[in-house]
Amino acid sequence: MILLAIETSCDETAAAVVRDGRDILSSVISSQVAIHAAYGGVVPEIASRKHLESIAPVINQALLDAGIGMEALEGVAVTRGPGLSGALLVGFSAAKAIAFARKIPFVGVHHIEGHLFAPFLEQPVPFPFLALVVSGGHTHLYHVEGFGRYTTLGRTIDDAAGEAYDKCAKIMGMPYPGGMLIDRMAQDGNSVALKLPRPLLRDGTLNFSFSGLKTAVMQQIAKHPVAIPSQAAADLCASFQEAVCHVLAAKTEAAIRQTGAARLVVAGGVACNSGLRSRMAALCSQLGVELSIPHPSLCGDNAAMLAVPGDYYLSHGFASPQTLDVTANWNMDSIKESLL
Ligand code: KG4
Ligand code: ZN
């Protein structure tokens, strides 16, 4: 099945053409990051307007790169939520319009479900597996038994890991989104230079909390302002990264032991992080667990990842009705019911 996939949940307008939920024929990502950077974060109203400007050219480019016309499409997979309502509506309306005009089915997919299955574009992972999804809006541990069969084992009770990275970078005076910049700066720093908290490390749950870490960085900067770049800034970045990765790895290890999982998927934008990638590799080799982390180009927001669950749902008769709306807040655990 040749699917067009569309993603507009936040600040990336993306479209991809994917065959059989596996072969990426094209993947186009138009980022608004430079526009939102001036405001220190994503401005929802601007995001919607930019999606509206970019959606048609991005879809056309994806078809052009794949070397096919609209008539070759057999279905459309699109992010239905969670995300910014106005932003979601742009991609969702485009998907519905194409499906209606071409008389092909479309399916609304959960954004995190896309992240979860991004590794499948490289190599399918046998079910069941444990998944750590770390992005700008999510830090979740899921037990995944199949498509649409997810159980949340743990989640952040405040900031997501990516949010903590971006907020910490902002406090340090770095541009939005600062996750990648902290990661880069951390390479030259000493990760034990500063003692930062490890929130909820030993609370006996699989939940996370990162807002206290952000406050600790704020207090540190208030006492000892740092210049960018400097050794002090690199040390702060390395110590922050160490604290985040330590907690993510410890909770993931607890989840592996609790579930007896033989496979682990790490996905989402923060899965680009060099410290997290090496830490998870070490953890999995120590525990004898098979690790799947997508190539960094598939970790951040893209449309191709949506085609994996999209292909499954459409080939199993779970098309969405034209009356379906976007869902800004959408719990992964309720996906099966909402599709049926
Ligand atoms: O999955 P994603 O592209 O969008 C959301 O669904 O949120 O994730 C974006 C998040 C941002 O917070 C960004 O700063 C973070 O991923 N990120 C990183 C790195 N690259 C992206 N965080 C830490 N280290 C990185 N290398
Ligand atoms: Zn995302």
Q: Is residue 9 part of a domain?
A: yes
Residue nearest to atom 13 of ligand 1 (CA): 179
The string over 282-316, giving b where at least 16 C-beta atoms fall within 10 Å of a residue's C-beta and e elsewhere, is ebbeeeebebbbbeeebbbbbbbbbbbbbbbbbee
Interval 320-329: pLDDT, tens: 999 999 999 9
Specify the number of domains making up the chain.
Answer: 2
Query: Which numbered atom of ligand 1 lies nearest the CA of 274?
Result: 26
Rounded to the nearest integer, the mean pLDDT of the chain is: 96
Measured CA to CA in angstroms, residue 130 lies from 58, 143, 232, 259 at distances of: 34, 5, 37, 8
Q: Is residue 86 part of a domain?
A: yes
Ligand nearest to the CA of 210: 1
pLDDT at 20: 98
Residue nearest to atom 3 of ligand 1 (CA): 300
CA-based max dimension of the chain: 63
pLDDT at 93: 98
Same domain (yes/no): 177, 268:
yes
Q: Is residue 270 part of a domain?
A: yes
pLDDT at 104: 98
Q: Is residue 122 part of a domain?
A: no
- CA 300 to centroid of ligand 2, rounded, Å: 6
Ligand nearest to the CA of 180: 1
Same domain (yes/no): 186, 264:
yes
What DSSP element (H or E) covers 132?
strand 129-134
Q: Is residue 245 part of a domain?
A: yes
Q: Is residue 242 part of a domain?
A: yes
Same domain (yes/no): 328, 231:
no
182 band by pLDDT with thresholds 50, 70 and 90: very high
Same domain (yes/no): 199, 157:
yes
* CB 21, CB 310: distance < 8 Å: yes
Query: Which numbered atom of ligand 1 lies nearest the CA of 160?
Result: 12
* CB 107, CB 314: distance < 8 Å: yes
Q: Is the peptide bond before 128 cis (omega within 30 degrees of 0)?
A: yes
Same domain (yes/no): 41, 155:
no
Ligand nearest to the CA of 184: 1
Same domain (yes/no): 262, 164:
yes
Q: How far is CA 241 from the centre of its chain?
A: 18
Task: Name the token pair of 136.
Answer: 């700008």
Sheet containing strand 23-31, strands side by side: 23-31, 12-19, 2-7, 75-81, 106-110
Q: Is residue 233 part of a domain?
A: yes
Residue nearest to atom 2 of ligand 1 (CA): 269
* CB 187, CB 237: distance < 8 Å: no
Residue to substitute in 180, 274, 276 for testing ligand 1 pocket (most ligand atoms within 8 angstroms of CB): 180
Same domain (yes/no): 183, 197:
yes
Tell me the percentage of the chain whose pLDDT exceeds 70.
99
334 band by pLDDT with thresholds 50, 70 and 90: confident
- CA 177 to centroid of ligand 1, rounded, Å: 8
What is the CATH classification number for the domain harbouring 315? Answer: 3.30.420.40
Residues with CB under 6 A from ligand 1: 10, 135-137, 162, 165-166, 177, 179-180, 183, 268-270, 272-273, 300-301
Same domain (yes/no): 101, 237:
no
Same domain (yes/no): 112, 216:
no
pLDDT at 53: 98
What residues pair up with 133 in beta bridges, in sequence order? Answer: 140, 267
Same domain (yes/no): 140, 109:
no
- Backbone phi, psi, residue 232, to 5°: -65, -40
Interval 183-196: pLDDT, tens: 999 999 999 999 99
- CA 309 to centroid of ligand 1, rounded, Å: 22
Q: Taking the CB of residue 321, how many other CB atoms lie within 10 A of it?
A: 9
Mean pLDDT calculated for residue range 288-316: 97
Mean pLDDT calculated for residue range 110-124: 97
pLDDT above 60 for 340 = no
Domain limits for position 315: 2-117+299-338
Interval 16-50: pLDDT, tens: 999 999 999 999 999 999 999 999 899 999 999 99
Q: Is residue 92 part of a domain?
A: yes
Same domain (yes/no): 270, 149:
yes
Same domain (yes/no): 198, 273:
yes
- CA 1 to centroid of ligand 1, rounded, Å: 30
pLDDT at 339: 65
